[in-house]
Chains A and B, each alone.
Chain A
Amino acid sequence: MGLFSFFKKEKKKNTASLAKERLQILIAHEHSDTSTAAPDYLPKLQEELIGVIRKYVKVDDNAVNVKLEKGDNFDVLELNITLPENN
């Protein structure tokens, strides 16, 4: 009886933590989904930024990377510009 209830309790303990784990993964995924889908102005922004940077530095088409990340209280627009070597 004691052994039986011990195993029963062990089995139950897993379901709440399993629920939490599944939810955390799912919600993180759903949040990242909306951040990649949302801003439709990003390609145009990227294109124009390349134009501006090219006025000063010779860079490749794929040298500018623009990303939008959604945070809890604010969103972060991340700009990644790779400058050519020997510059």
Chain B
Amino acid sequence: MSKVIVVTSGKGGVGKTTSSAAFAAGLASKGHKTAVIDFDVGLRNLDLIMGVERRVVYDFVNVINGESTLKQALIKDKRVENLYILPASQTRDKDALNKEGVESVINELKADGFDYIVCDSPAGIEKGAFMALYFADEAIVVTNPEVSSVRDSDRILGILQSRSKVAEEGGTVKEHLLITRYSPERVEGGDMLSKEDIQEILSIPLLGVIPESGSVLQASNSGNPVIMDKESQAGQAYMDVVSRFLGEDIPLRFVESEEKKGFFKKLFG
């Protein structure tokens, strides 16, 4: 049974594309056939983050319009087995995506034996974001520990549970909270919302916490999903997210500052 997962946030710049790329690459590296679709029509960027920008020939909208087959548009990743990327179109046509077209692409991916279809949502609550979440079974809500991001996440959760297909049919989209750009030092210093604060406000289950890390920028500079950087804290935290998503019980890492860790070590070590 294939699953459709939307990576969404409402707010822009919180790490949706970075998270989509990392999450999809992680699922694939664990042996699951995974497709990641860029829904940001007009502002395509997933291809760049995944380092396949020079291999884009056809895109999502070409497939919907019947200008290419899905097979022609899907880019097979050269680093990770089982990973495929469907880039967004750079068209300025706002109505390029429609429910019927998106549904037919998702159904074809399901029929092709994809285990996971990851939908990288654009920011905002307009058509592209709506199309990305409409067919989702589960949602990963990417949130920064910052007021506007938390508020927008709450907005998008409301839309998810009222306007998605699953919701229209009386069901519930399974929600996962993914906190990114987390700085344990600043949380302990009292000037950043803690993971507990965010969870209390949004009241959805926490899937993972990705620490603020220079390796995320390095990864996007070089076009490698950050999860492939196994040395970095962000990469390891993303791998934990994937494992947790697949049902493993893994404790959170990198959520305490070195200072605090040292203190507890002194106390109990």
Chain A residues packing against B (C-beta within 8 Å): 9, 12-17, 19-20, 22-24, 26-27, 30-31, 34, 72-73
Contacts and interface: CB of A to CB of B under 8 A. Distances in A.
B201 to A, nearest CB: 5
Contacts, number: 43
Interface stretch (B103-111, B134-142, B150-158, B219-227): B150-158
Interface in B169-192: 172, 187, 189-192
Given A19-B147, A27-B151, A9 B203 contact: no
Contacts of A34: 158
Given A16-B197, A34-B158, 19 more contacts: A9-B189, A9-B190, A12-B191, A13-B189, A13-B190, A15-B190, A16-B187, A16-B193, A16-B194, A17-B190, A19-B146, A19-B193, A20-B193, A20-B200, A23-B150, A24-B201, A27-B154, A30-B154, A73-B172
- The dominant DSSP class at the A interface is helix
A78 B155 CA distance: 25
Contacts of A15: 190-191
Contacts of B172: 73
Contact of A12 (B150, B151, B189, B194): B189
